[in-house]
Amino acid sequence: MKTGLVVTAHPGDFVWRAGGAIALHAKRGYRMKIVCLSYGERGESQFAWKEPGATMASVKAGREDEAERAAKMLGAEIEFFDCGDYPLKLNETHFDRMVDIYRELNPSFVLTHALEDPYNFDHPDAAHFAQQTRVVASHGSQARCEVSIFCAAGVFVRAAPAGDVQFQAAGDPQHRRGLGDQAQEL
């Protein structure tokens, strides 16, 4: 089965930046997996914090519920890393899990953020994390993983003006069409 992977900083990112691509590929029979690095509890939850009695736990629970329902509607599975946001606090456990996901899924393509975003530093951090873990997964340089090495798909990013769509990645050359000269393989 063909697979696709989405690595996103916050729940809202995969919904409004990559939702169409996720739904399309799921409909075409791809197994789609979303790795959501945070719940967006600081950066995209301003309305949740206005609810009477809001706590960090209640905001995260609400965001998780929303994201799970959105992923289900798009035909994808979702896994949360709970790294916090503003800033993302990625650690070795997150890194190891992401490497394992790449090896388990062996994605045909990866969707993630642009490497530059002057308005949201979590987005480039998520993109670098996706890139770094893909490289480690493909080269098998992490001793604790005794999984067969696979040839990871390339990650392609299109530079976008500030505030424009950030998800512009695909490793399968067929999906790369339309990215034009701005596409670069990482």
Long-range contacts of 63-68 (CB under 8 A, 24+ apart): 63/11, 63/39, 64/11, 64/39, 66/11, 67/11, 67/14, 67/15, 67/36, 67/39
Provide the token pair at 49.
Answer: 């914090």
Which DSSP category does 182 fall into?
Answer: G
Sort strands 31-36 and 76-80 into parallel, antiparallel or unpaired. Answer: parallel
pLDDT at 140: 61
Respond yes or no on whether the N-terminal peptide bond of residue 87 is cis (omega within 30° of 0). yes
Instruction: Please state the φ and ψ torsions of residue 58, each to the nearest 5 degrees.
Output: -70, -35
When pLDDT is averaged across residues 160-178 and rounded to a whole number, the result is 41
Which of the four pLDDT bands, split at 50, 70 and 90, describes residue 157? Answer: very low
Residue 163 pLDDT > 70, yes or no? Answer: no
HSE-CB of 71 using CA atoms within 13 angstroms: 25
Q: Residue 6's pLDDT is what? A: 96
Q: What Å distances lie between residue 105 and 4, 30, 59, CA to CA?
A: 8, 11, 30
Lowest mean pLDDT among 37-41, 48-52, 122-126: 48-52
At 172 the pLDDT is: 40
Task: Report the range of poorest mean pLDDT among 68-72, 78-82, 182-186.
Answer: 182-186
Tens of pLDDT, residues 119-148: 899 999 999 999 999 999 988 644 333 322
User: pLDDT-derived band of residue 54, with 50, 70 and 90 as boundaries?
Assistant: confident
Q: Could you tell me which CATH number the domain at 3-185 has?
A: 3.40.50.10320
Task: Convert the pLDDT of each residue in 81-111 to its tens digit.
Answer: 999 999 999 999 999 999 999 999 999 999 9
Q: Which run of H or of E encompasses 94?
A: helix 92-105
Q: Give the pairing of strands 3-8 and 109-111.
A: parallel
For all residues of the chain together, what is the average pLDDT? 80
Task: Report pTM.
Answer: 0.75
